[in-house]
């Protein structure tokens, strides 16, 4: 298998994977979405809430605030040695929020949440939690724990994880002087014209919609759009909880673990 990195930063990862197949790519995609753990607020103890929003709505908004995650320092609650419903220092982080609108209406942002662990904080300081009118107060204690997207979407470390076949476009071999229908119809502007010849401007933007082939007045069409069966373009967009390459790494680890368990269970069956 060969992997080529097209783009990599704190949030996005675009890679080309060659010599792979659909079941593998799809398994990795599903694991990244549903089983790679990340931190999210699970319980909120409301100390004072004189705002107009109910406690439950505030708790829901806090739960959906993505938190930076340190996977190496914390255990999943069910895997933690404490076996306690309440949790311990290895499986729970306490965060507090104490906000008051003293001088008039104001918005409380995620940046005001104080965490006991400076590594586990909201990924952005600018997420609005609530608007408080003058003299309204919000004081609470929240507990964040690791979880997986299968249980609740708040524990999904990625906002997007998708793959597509690697496109293969063969432009018309000869000049097509009278028509630029294939170029005009493409929503992704994949094709371009140069010296009266159609050429591929941005191959990876192609989503294989085939509009260009259908638009060609020649039958059969003068250009061909195909895809490579064993090559894929994968895009991962992290919520900021984990770096996208870490999400992919964890997904591969989980796949290996699940396959091992499968193998063990086959062995355990009587002959
Ligand atoms: Zn614990």
**pLDDT-derived band at 197, boundaries 50, 70, 90:** confident
Preceding peptide of 80 cis, ω within 30°? no
User: Average pLDDT, whole number, for the chain?
Assistant: 94
- The pLDDT score that the predictor gives to residue 254 is 97
Work out the number of other CB atoms within 10 angstroms of the CB of residue 112: 15
pLDDT per residue over 131-151, tens digit each? Answer: 999 999 999 999 999 999 999
pLDDT of residue 65: 97
The rounded Å distance from CA 124 to ligand 1 centre is 27
pLDDT at 165: 96
Residue 177 confidence (pLDDT) above 70: no
> What is each CA distance from 109 to 145, 203, 239, in whole angstroms?
21, 41, 17
CA of 146 to the centre of ligand 1 (A): 11
Confidence of residue 220 (pLDDT cuts 50, 70, 90): confident
Q: Does residue 175 carry a pLDDT above 90? A: no
pLDDT digits (tens, 9 = 90+) for 245-258: 999 999 999 999 99
Distance between Cα 259 and ligand 1 center (Å): 27
pLDDT computed for residue 67 by the predictor: 97
CA 92 to ligand 1 centroid distance, Å: 7
pLDDT in tens, 44-70: 999 999 999 999 999 999 999 999 999
Arithmetic mean of pLDDT, 204-213:
92
Instruction: Tell how far the Cα of 6 is from the centroid of ligand 1, in angstroms.
Output: 39
Q: What is the pLDDT of residue 221?
A: 87
Mean pLDDT of 11-26: 96
Candidates 66, 26, 232; CA nearest to 157 is: 66
- Find the 41 Cα to ligand 1 centroid distance in Å: 15
Residues 98-102: contacts with CB under 8 Å, at least 24 apart: 98/138, 98/139, 99/130, 99/132, 99/137, 99/138, 99/139, 100/132, 100/135, 100/136, 100/137, 100/138, 101/132, 101/133, 101/134, 101/135, 101/136, 101/137, 102/134, 102/135
Confidence at 271, pLDDT banded by 50, 70, 90: low
Token output for 245: 């390459």
For residue 178, pLDDT over 70 is answered with: yes
Mean pLDDT, to the nearest integer, of 153-166? 96
Ligand 1 center to residue 88 CA distance, Å?
Answer: 4
Query: Is residue 123 scored above 90 in pLDDT?
Result: yes
How far, in Å, is the centroid of ligand 1 from the Cα of 143? 12
């Amino acid at each position: 298998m060969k992997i080529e990195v097209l783009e990599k930063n704190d949030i996005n990862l675009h890679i080309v994977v060659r010599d792979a197949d659909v079941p593998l790519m799809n398994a990795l995609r599903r694991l990244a979405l549903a089983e790679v753990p990340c931190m999210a607020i699970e319980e909120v103890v409301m100390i004072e809430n004189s705002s107009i929003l109910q406690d439950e709505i505030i708790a829901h908004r806090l739960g959906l605030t993505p938190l930076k995650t340190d996977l190496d320092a914390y255990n999943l609650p069910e895997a933690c040695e404490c076996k306690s419903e309440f949790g311990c220092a290895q499986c729970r982080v306490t965060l507090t929020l104490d906000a008051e609108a003293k001088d008039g209406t104001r918005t409380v942002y995620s940046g005001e949440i104080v965490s006991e662990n400076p590594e586990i904080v909201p990924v952005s300081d600018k997420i609005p939690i609530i608007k408080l009118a003058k003299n309204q107060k919000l004081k609470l204690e929240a507990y964040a724990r690791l979880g997986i997207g299968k249980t609740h979407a708040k524990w999904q470390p990625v906002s997007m994880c998708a793959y597509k076949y690697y496109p293969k476009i063969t432009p018309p071999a000869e000049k097509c002087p009278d028509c630029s229908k294939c170029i005009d119809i493409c929503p992704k502007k994949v094709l371009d014209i140069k010296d009266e010849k159609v050429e591929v401007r941005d191959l990876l933007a192609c989503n294989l919609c085939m509009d260009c082939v259908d638009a060609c007045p020649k039958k059969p069409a003068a250009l061909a759009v195909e895809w490579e069966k064993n090559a894929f373009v994968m895009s991962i967009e992290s919520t900021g909880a984990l770096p996208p390459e870490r999400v992919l790494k964890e997904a591969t680890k989980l796949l290996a673990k699940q396959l091992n368990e499968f193998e063990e269970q086959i062995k355990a069956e009587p002959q």
